[in-house]
């Protein structure tokens, strides 16, 4: 009897194994209802739009339900890391391009290349500059959803009052500096009441990567082993920023800026600031007229920064097919249109970006500048250890922008710390 | 104890019975984390891939990384200002609250409120108070003809932050001291009054010596809290992306772990913090034997 049971068990096991082997590929997703989880950072306005996109996706694919979970930026990353480390990642989650390699290189993301190969032409309508960040030697592990280029925002009222001509596409950094000087107003008791220019100098994206590229310098070498921001050409850009702040005093130092809630442009005390499309919804609340212009030219030409936010799929996702179907939908016209209407970023799909959905938003500004800037935009660098590296530079240089330390030696020290980070992340 | 309820059965039994729930929590909750932290401090771990043995590398970093040294210096500076501040202010508040004031329970509640309020929320309110242009504090200063102060700028930030932390800790200290104060027999003060001692003499000759156990306990707790302080400091001094103008050790631990994928280094810093606190505890207990009076 016992022996019979044993044989039965073995036979049934073998049958089960054969059954498994007899199914060559997993059944297509559309046959049975699945629920996938999608996690993102964002605010209530973004969640509303994403709920709409998810609902539309469900209508198009009735068998796939997407559960959206949204957190603020800080908690998002903490939550994500905990879930990844516990082996229970969300099926789909958002990724900031500069941080992408920190996750991709640690093997927690699904390689999307096999899916992309099965969908030839899927990325044809997408701006190629926004795909660059996600490429690795063995394929793409993520897809962009929207992008940001940095442009120069300016306060028209201040320009009009000072009788200074608006910035043009032909502006150089010298023009910028001169205009900033003319726009700075100092009261009789020596207090500055209006600044010509402002930008935060902690992260490279707002102004200093653009400046360094325009002066012919670079941020980091090709194999990500050496920080180049203290090389002579980059130093020219730093010197310009430093002199605008401490010689011309047309740019408030970081302490002063902090007193205006960190955004003197929005506070109506700075005439120009370089920033991305994410600032537009907030600036719509400002009680002055403003518009945008391309970033100025430097000795080495015009440059700006392009960065994208995208979606990745967890490697341990139980429903990778459904997850990819959703990523594909995000790049479709209806979804990209919703994102364009949200007004926080530029759609990565060219046909939508160049349509009225993006160009005719409620902000009375020239939206096309954001797209045209792609022509001379360079990718915000993507490398392993990005977060720690940018902190080494940002924290390291913070005392320059408060006026506590000298530019040269402090920059050298920050670069040394940044290079240590690169060595540790090899 | 000569009065109160006598436990039924053997005292030992009840001792363990009542300690068990806490001990289970410690054993399975805290102890596991402590052991994991000790082990991880000898490892290189990014949370996403398996940890690898790193020997003493993380400990060498403690003494060679200027950022960790800066964080430790900030923590020590903070503690040096915070601990005496909390003990003195909460003692004074407790003495006030121990009097027969009209509406004393309202004041007690008011002082205790920060203890039970979310630190993040109150820190946001403090940001509004400290703001230079829009801040309430500078509004008042300018109204009475004084120069506005940049409360959260480099030179003032530490003091402003300590002030908020003390404010947040008054409630807890007050409770401890109130318990100590109510235990002092009234006869001592009556006798002192008959002998002609004034209020100050009574405070320094009777109150202070008799509540040394409370002072000791409060100093101990404040020291531990000072070394773990993070929420108010971070909320008031953050800048850039996740940076703080007054990085303290707990901030550095958080940042190394969650932002920089360096859980090994973060663990070693946690051990460093523990050792420093332990040294302060040892000194406190040595001082206790000399100066604390138990009845």
**Domain layout of chain B by residue ranges:** 57-291
Measure CB to CB from residue B154 to each of A387, A390, A402 and give the nearest one. Answer: A402
Confidence of residue B8 (pLDDT cuts 50, 70, 90): low
Confidence of residue B4 (pLDDT cuts 50, 70, 90): low
Please judge whether A107 and B48 are an interchain contact, meaning their C-beta atoms are less than 8 angstroms apart: yes
Architecture of domain B57-291: Orthogonal Bundle (1.10)
Measure CB to CB from residue B49 to each of A107, A258, A385 and give the nearest one. Answer: A107
Please judge whether B48 and A390 are an interchain contact, meaning their C-beta atoms are less than 8 angstroms apart: no
Same domain, A283 and A417: yes
Please judge whether B258 and A77 are an interchain contact, meaning their C-beta atoms are less than 8 angstroms apart: yes
Measure CB to CB from residue A81 to each of B47, B243, B255 and give the nearest one. Answer: B47
Flag whether pLDDT at A1 surpasses 80: no
Q: Measured between beta carbons, which residues in chain B are less than 8 angstroms from residue A192?
A: none
Per-residue confidence (pLDDT) for residue A16, from 0 to 100: 39
Q: Measured between beta carbons, which residues in chain B are less than 8 angstroms from residue A200?
A: 240
Structure tokens at A371: 């797209």
Please judge whether A391 and B241 are an interchain contact, meaning their C-beta atoms are less than 8 angstroms apart: yes
Same domain, A288 and A390: yes
Q: Measured between beta carbons, which residues in chain B are less than 8 angstroms from residue A391?
A: 240-243, 255, 259-260
Q: Residues B180-231: pLDDT tens digits? A: 999 999 899 999 999 998 888 999 999 999 999 999 999 999 999 999 998 8
Same domain, A74 and A45: yes
Residue A53 to residue A330: CA distance in whole angstroms: 8
Measure CB to CB from residue B49 to each of A106, A385, A388 and give the nearest one. Answer: A106
Please judge whether B240 and A200 are an interchain contact, meaning their C-beta atoms are less than 8 angstroms apart: yes
Please judge whether A259 and B154 are an interchain contact, meaning their C-beta atoms are less than 8 angstroms apart: no
Q: Residues A84-131: pLDDT tens digits? A: 988 899 999 999 999 999 999 999 999 999 999 999 999 999 999 999
Q: Which residues of B touch A (CB under 8 A)?
A: 46-49, 67, 131-134, 150, 152-154, 239-243, 245, 255, 258-262
Please judge whether B47 and A254 are an interchain contact, meaning their C-beta atoms are less than 8 angstroms apart: no
Strands in chain B per DSSP E = 43-44, 52-53, 238-239, 243-244
Confidence of residue A74 (pLDDT cuts 50, 70, 90): confident
Residue B59 to residue B268: CA distance in whole angstroms: 6
- Chain pair A-B, CB pairs under 8 angstroms: 70
Q: How many domains is chain A built from? A: 2
Reported residue count of chain A is 426
Choose among A206, A196, A185, A365: nearest CA to A289. A365
Q: Residues A348-397: pLDDT tens digits? A: 999 999 999 999 988 889 999 999 999 999 999 999 999 899 999 998 99
For residue A354, what are the contacts with CB-CB under 8 A and spacing of at least 6? A371
Per-residue confidence (pLDDT) for residue A7, from 0 to 100: 42
Q: Residues A281-331: pLDDT tens digits? A: 889 989 999 999 999 999 999 999 999 999 999 998 999 999 999 999 999
Q: Measured between beta carbons, which residues in chain A are less than 8 angstroms from residue B262?
A: 388
Please judge whether B260 and A390 are an interchain contact, meaning their C-beta atoms are less than 8 angstroms apart: no
A114 is a domain residue: yes
Same domain, A97 and A180: no
Measure CB to CB from residue A260 to each of B49, B133, B240 and give the nearest one. Answer: B133
Please judge whether A388 and B241 are an interchain contact, meaning their C-beta atoms are less than 8 angstroms apart: no
Residue B293 phi, psi dihedral angles, 5° rounding: -105, 120
Measure CB to CB from residue A202 to each of B48, B243, B261 and give the nearest one. Answer: B243
Residue A39 to residue A94: CA distance in whole angstroms: 7
Q: Report whether A365 contacts A104 (CB < 8 A).
A: no
* CATH at A37: 3.40.190.10
Please judge whether B241 and A203 are an interchain contact, meaning their C-beta atoms are less than 8 angstroms apart: yes
A18 is a domain residue: no
Per-residue confidence (pLDDT) for residue A254, from 0 to 100: 85
A92 is a domain residue: yes
Instruction: Quickly list DSSP for A123-152.
Output: TTTB-HHHHGGGEETTEESEEEEEEEE-EE
Using the 3D structure, point to which of A325, A340, A366 is the last residue of a domain.
A366
Q: By CA distance, what is B237's nearest residue in A?
A: A258
Mean pLDDT, rounded, of chain A: 90
Provide the 10 A C-beta neighbour count for residue B112: 16
Burial of B242 (0-12, 13-18, 19+ CB in 10 A): buried
Q: Residues B40-86: pLDDT tens digits? A: 999 999 988 899 999 999 999 999 888 899 999 999 999 999 999 99
Residue A216 structural domain: 151-306+379-424
Choose among A247, A148, A256, A276: nearest CA to A198. A256
Per-residue confidence (pLDDT) for residue A65, from 0 to 100: 95
Q: Which residues of A touch B (CB under 8 A)?
A: 74, 77-78, 81, 84-85, 102-103, 106-108, 200, 202-203, 254-255, 258-261, 385, 387-388, 390-391, 394-395, 398, 402, 404
Mean pLDDT, rounded, of chain B: 89
Q: By CA distance, what is A75's nearest residue in B?
A: B258
- What is the SS3 assignment for A313-336? EECCCCCHHHHHHHHHHHCCHHHH
Residue A196 to residue A28: CA distance in whole angstroms: 59
Please judge whether B243 and A77 are an interchain contact, meaning their C-beta atoms are less than 8 angstroms apart: no
Same domain, A282 and A359: no
Same domain, A351 and A244: no
Per-residue confidence (pLDDT) for residue A87, from 0 to 100: 86
Please judge whether B240 and A259 are an interchain contact, meaning their C-beta atoms are less than 8 angstroms apart: no
Residue B287 to residue B194: CA distance in whole angstroms: 34
Flag whether pLDDT at B167 surpasses 70: yes
Please judge whether B262 and A402 are an interchain contact, meaning their C-beta atoms are less than 8 angstroms apart: no
Q: Residues B258-280: pLDDT tens digits? A: 888 999 999 999 999 999 999 99
């Amino acid at each position: 009897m016992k022996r019979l049971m044993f044989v039965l068990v073995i036979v049934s096991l073998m049958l089960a194994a054969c059954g498994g082997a007899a199914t060559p590929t997993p059944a297509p997703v559309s046959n049975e209802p699945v629920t996938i989880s999608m996690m993102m950072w964002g605010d209530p306005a973004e969640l509303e739009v994403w709920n709409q996109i998810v609902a539309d996706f469900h209508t198009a694919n009735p068998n796939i339900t997407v559960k959206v979970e949204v957190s603020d930026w800080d908690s998002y990353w903490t939550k994500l890391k905990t879930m990844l480390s516990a082996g229970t990642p969300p099926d789909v989650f958002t990724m900031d391009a500069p941080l992408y390699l920190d996750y991709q290189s640690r093997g927690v993301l699904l390689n999307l290349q096999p899916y992309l190969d099965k969908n030839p032409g899927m990325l044809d309508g997408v701006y190629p500059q926004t795909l660059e960040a996600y490429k690795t030697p063995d394929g793409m592990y993520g897809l962009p959803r929207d992008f940001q280029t940095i442009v120069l925002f300016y306060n028209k009222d201040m320009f009009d009052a000072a009788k200074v001509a608006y910035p043009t596409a032909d502006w150089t950094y010298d023009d910028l500096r001169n205009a900033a000087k003319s726009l700075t107003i100092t009261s009789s008791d020596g207090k500055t009441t209006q600044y010509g220019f402002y930008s935060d100098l902690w992260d490279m994206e707002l102004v200093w990567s653009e400046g360094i590229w325009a002066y012919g310098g670079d941020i980091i070498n090709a194999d990500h082993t050496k920080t180049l921001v203290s090389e002579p050409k980059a130093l020219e850009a730093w010197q310009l920023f430093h002199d605008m702040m401490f010689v011309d005093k047309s740019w408030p130092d970081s302490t002063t800026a902090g007193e205006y809630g960190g955004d003197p442009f929005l506070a109506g005390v700075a005439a120009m600031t370089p920033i991305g499309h994410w600032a537009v919804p907030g600036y719509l609340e400002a009680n002055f007229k403003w518009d945008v212009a391309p970033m100025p030219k430097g000795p080495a030409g015009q440059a700006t920064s392009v960065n994208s936010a995208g979606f990745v799929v967890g490697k341990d996702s139980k429903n990778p097919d459904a997850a990819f179907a959703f990523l594909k939908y995000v790049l479709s016209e209806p979804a990209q249109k919703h994102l364009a209407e949200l007004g926080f970023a530029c759609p990565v799909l060219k046909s939508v970006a160049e349509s009225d959905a993006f160009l005719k938003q409620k902000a009375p500004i020239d939206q096309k500048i954001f797209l045209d800037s792609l022509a001379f935009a360079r990718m915000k660098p993507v490398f392993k250890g990005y977060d720690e590296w940018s902190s080494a530079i940002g924290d390291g240089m913070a005392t320059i922008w408060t006026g506590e330390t000298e530019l040269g030696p402090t920059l050298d020290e920050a670069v040394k710390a940044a290079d240590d980070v690169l060595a540790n992340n090899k | 104890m000569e009065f109160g309820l006598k436990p039924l059965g053997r005292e030992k039994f009840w001792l363990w019975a009542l300690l068990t729930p806490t001990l289970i929590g410690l054993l399975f909750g805290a102890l596991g984390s402590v052991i994991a932290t000790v082990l991880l401090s000898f490892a290189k771990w990014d949370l996403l891939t398996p940890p690898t043995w790193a020997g003493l590398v993380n400990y060498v970093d403690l003494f060679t990384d200027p950022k960790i040294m800066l964080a430790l210096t900030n923590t020590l500076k903070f503690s040096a200002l915070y601990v005496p501040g909390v003990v003195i202010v909460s003692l004074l508040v407790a003495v006030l609250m121990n009097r027969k004031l009209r509406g004393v329970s309202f004041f007690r509640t008011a002082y205790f409120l920060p203890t039970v309020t979310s630190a993040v929320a109150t820190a946001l309110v403090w940001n509004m108070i400290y703001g230079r242009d829009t801040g309430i504090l500078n509004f008042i200063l300018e109204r009475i003809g004084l120069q506005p102060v940049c409360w959260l700028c480099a030179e003032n930030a530490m003091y402003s932050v300590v002030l908020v932390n003390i404010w947040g800790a008054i409630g807890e200290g007050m409770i401890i001291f109130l318990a100590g104060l109510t235990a002092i027999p009234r006869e001592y003060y009556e006798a002192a009054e008959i002998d002609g001692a004034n209020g100050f003499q009574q405070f320094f000759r009777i109150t202070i010596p008799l509540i040394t156990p409370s002072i000791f306990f409060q100093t101990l707790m404040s020291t531990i809290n000072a070394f773990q302080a993070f929420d108010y400091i971070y909320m008031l001094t953050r800048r850039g992306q996740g940076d703080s103008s007054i990085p303290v050790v707990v901030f550095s631990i958080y940042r190394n772990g969650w932002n920089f994928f360096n859980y090994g280094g973060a663990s070693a810093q946690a051990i460093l913090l523990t050792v420093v606190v332990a040294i302060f505890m040892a000194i406190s207990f040595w001082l206790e034997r000399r100066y604390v009076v138990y009845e």
